[in-house]
Amino acid sequence: MPDPAVVLIEDEPQIRRFLRATLTAEGYRLFEATTGAAGLIEVGSRQPDVVIVDLGLPDMDGLEVIRRIRAWTAVPIVVLSARGQERDKVTALDGGADDYVSKPFGAGELLARIRVALRHAAGVARADGEAFKVGGLEVDLLRRQVHVEGVEVRLTPIEYRLLSTLVRHAGKVVTHQQLLREVWGPTHTDQSHYARVYMAHLRHKLEAEPARPRYLLTEPGVGYRLTAE
Amino acid sequence: MDESRVAAYARAVAIVAGATAVCWLMFPVAELTDLVLVYLLGTVLIAASDGRGPSIFASLASVAAFDFFFVPPYLAFDVAHPRYLLTFAVMLIVALVISGLTVRIRRQAEAAEQRERRTAALYAMSRELAQGATVDDLIAIAARHLGEVFTADVTIFLPAAGDRLEPRRRGASTISDNELALAHAAFELRQATGLGTRTSPGAAATYLPLLGHRGVLGVVGIEPPGRRALEAPEPFRLLETLVNQTALALERARLAEEAQQARVGAETERLRNSLLTSVSHDLRTPLAAITGAATTMLEGGGRLDAGTRQELLEAIRDEAERLNRLVQNLLEMTRLESGALTLRRDWHPVEEVVGAALGRAAKRLASRRVTVTIPPDLPLVAIDDVLIEQVLVNLLDNAVKYAAPEGAIRLMATASERAVTVEVTNQGPTLPPGEEERVFEKFHRVVADGRQGAGLGLAICRGIVEAHGGRIWAQNLPEGGVAFLFTLPLAEASLAPLPADA
């Protein structure tokens, strides 16, 4: 299997320089585009494994780029955005992006996002055969069992649905909208406090210190992320 | 001759007739001099009620009637004896003098009454004008008073952009081009125009300029119900006085506004200076560290051992993060100050926001003992989680910065009926007296001891907490250290109940 290909759509040369060094050192094949239009052509011709899109492009809204990519391919998209633009991030994620990193970000953070995105893209065909494990948390989706440090934890149906949704997206951010849709169904997407209340219940059952969670992380203004590695 | 004057003369005729009737009854038993007194009484009555003209008329009519009915030969104007001529002359003179005096007293009483009314109107308006702060308030007050005093339709014009007068307080009637032209004329000529003046007296309304010390401030248009209402000098003087009062009040308001703008300008200038000083220092320090570390690595090349290289790289990363926090704070402050901050409120457990903040500050908190106490049954709060997380991160940053190196940091939340209170405390030095309030001021640092920070973090906290309707304050701890507390009001609106989960 060849090295995974990454299309980077980013207009800032400094960021491109930094990502070029990082990504090629990690063995990715990198294709760069400085505009949304050029990026769309690159995505079409290179058939990449991951696309990285900056939300602030000179020629076209990053959100539009995501929409157009999503019109014909399920390739994972990781968004680069600034802190304080939570709304844009949510729009991008609900509009089809898989994950995001806030500028300024460390190389480790971006590489982790790319790894998770690649894993999920590869795992679409894979059966949920094996249990999900991170730290002392173990979730067996097949047998519907949850263990913390080897001790089985009893969850209510909603708590379990919430946790299993996060496990299916492990490592990826999940917006409130996505959670509500997947756990409560499409009619409850305006009741985001449901998710928060049950997330608090889950934390009290799964985390040693619910106010300093290890597994069930909050991304304020965006959603939740289950630690995956 | 108008109706009221006709009525006055008719009254004079009636009173003389009445006096004659009384005299007729007295005539058989009384002296002629007594009859003269009855006529004089009638004249005084007329003078007191109807003024000079009717009273003179009554005097003459009294003498004529007296002569005709009671002086021989009776029922004729002839005079039988010349001594009666003297009686007539004295009677006429006395009648005229008495009526003259009476009229004068009456006029004085009327003038006093008018002065009283004018003073009262002026006082009422001045008192209200003194309380009005803005130009709009003052215009409303003036229009209302002028309208009440003159039962008139009042429009106040103020100059708008491009030398145009704009009706700011509009009466009931619409303003025609002609009226607007008269208002402009009053504005430019600095004198009254329109109804009752030399310029276009046929207009429906009178226009008076609002004359201040530094020029014309605007124009008052006043349209009385009757065309003659403002014709007499007295109401017109009152109108002028009230308009002058309005002009003075407007000028005062404008001066106050200018002074306020100047103060704001000076304050902005001061803040900009301290911002520049503070920001350039705080930007330069991490930049110097980054430049230094990077150039050392570039130029030192292979001579550096692995430990040193690692240290320099970490310095670059840490300083860059510091720069990022500073820029973030500057942006946040700008958004708060420009009013561009909109709260995106939703229901959140405090614990979750605290968790996110502790996660974001984790690296800086790594070397600290942090205890968190949040009761599990704390109610949800309606907050913007991104902003409240920022408040918590800033308070934690602050605690790390000012706590004693081994001092613990404590984070607590408690609920009362009306609010959730969050408290971040650190052990260490206390705030000097008087600093508990000032620490929340922009660019204020307790001691200029080179500790990092632009003095923005706590000011941002205050801005965000107050935008949520909460309060933030600091208090020294008796055992040493400082507690920062803020409240998040619990909304009265209740949440939709959660669906069943079993």
Considering only A36-45, A133-142, B230-239, which range has the smallest mean pLDDT? B230-239
Tell me: ipTM over 0.90.
no
Q: Do A212 and B359 touch (CB under 8 A)?
A: yes
CB contacts, 8 Å: A155 with chain B: none
User: Average pLDDT for residues A165-173, to the nearest whole number?
Assistant: 92
pLDDT of residue B446: 64
B380 and A196 within 8 Å at the Cβ level: the answer is yes
Q: Kindly report the nearest CA distance between residue B214 and chain A, in angstroms.
A: 49
B497 touches chain A (CB under 8 A): no
The dihedral sign for the CA sequence B247, B248, B252, B258: positive
Assess whether pLDDT exceeds 80 at residue A130. no
Whether B328 contacts chain A with CB within 8 A: yes
CB contact under 8 A, A218 and B495: no
A212 to B372: CB separation less than 8 angstroms, yes or no: yes
Per-residue confidence (pLDDT) for residue A125, from 0 to 100: 42
| pLDDT tens digits in sequence order for chain B, 502 residues long | 567 788 888 888 999 899 899 888 888 888 888 888 888 888 888 888 887 888 888 888 888 888 888 887 888 777 777 888 888 888 888 888 888 888 888 888 888 887 787 788 888 888 888 888 788 888 888 888 888 888 888 888 888 876 778 877 666 566 777 888 888 888 888 888 888 788 788 788 888 898 888 888 888 888 887 777 677 777 788 888 888 888 888 888 888 888 888 888 887 777 677 767 767 777 888 898 899 899 888 888 778 888 888 999 999 998 998 888 888 888 888 888 887 778 888 889 999 999 999 999 998 888 889 999 999 889 999 999 999 999 999 999 989 888 888 888 999 999 998 899 999 999 888 888 878 788 888 777 666 555 556 678 888 899 899 889 899 999 999 888 899 999 999 876 656 566 666 5
Measure B454 CA to nearest chain A CA, in Å.
20
Contact at CB, B354 and A221, closer than 8 angstroms: no
Q: Does B380 touch chain A (CB under 8 A)?
A: yes
The model's confidence at residue A56, banded by pLDDT at 50, 70 and 90, is: confident
Query: Residue A126: pLDDT band by 50, 70, 90 thresholds?
Result: very low
CA neighbor of B346 nearest in space, from B387, B374, B299, B405: B387
Tell me the pLDDT tens digit for each residue of A199-218.
Answer: 999 999 999 999 999 999 99
Q: What is the 3-state secondary structure (H, E, C) of B233-285?
A: HHHHHHHHHHHHHHHHHHHHHHHHHHHHHHHHHHHHHHHHHHHHHHHHHHHHH
Q: Which amino acid is at B278?
A: S
**Alpha helices by DSSP H, A26-82:** 36-46, 62-70
Q: Would you call B372 an interface residue with chain A, using a CB distance cutoff of 8 Å?
A: yes
Token duo for residue B182: 């008269």
- B127 to chain A, closest Cα gap in Å: 51
Q: Does B502 touch chain A (CB under 8 A)?
A: yes
Tell me the pLDDT tens digit for each residue of A64-110.
Answer: 999 999 999 999 999 998 766 788 899 999 999 999 999 888 899 99
Nearest to B501 among A86, A158, A193 (CB): A158
pLDDT (0 to 100) of residue A24: 93
Q: Closest-CA residue in chain A for B370?
A: A212
Q: Which of A104, A156, A188 sits opposite B324 (nearest CB)?
A: A104
**Rounded CA gap, B148 and B41, in Å?**
40
Measured between CB atoms, which of B321, B332, B498 is closest to A197?
B498
| Nearest Cα to Cα of residue A224 among A184, A172, A168, A186 | A172
Q: Is B322 on the interface with A (CB under 8 A)?
A: no
- Rounded mean pLDDT, A128-157: 88
Q: Chain B, 151-210: which have a CB under 8 Å from a chain A CB?
A: none
Q: Return the closest-CA partner of residue A219 out of A76, A101, A109.
A: A101
Contact B359 A217 (CB under 8 A): yes
A133 three-class SS? strand
Set of chain A residues whose Cβ sits within 8 Å of the Cβ of B359:
212-213, 217-218
Is residue B15 within 8 Å of residue B58, measured between CB atoms? Answer: yes
Contact state of A211 with B380 under an 8 Å Cβ cutoff:
no
Cβ B412 vs Cβ B384: under 8 Å: no
Residue B77: phi and psi, rounded to 5, are: -85, -5
Which residues sit opposite B223 in a β-bridge?
B153
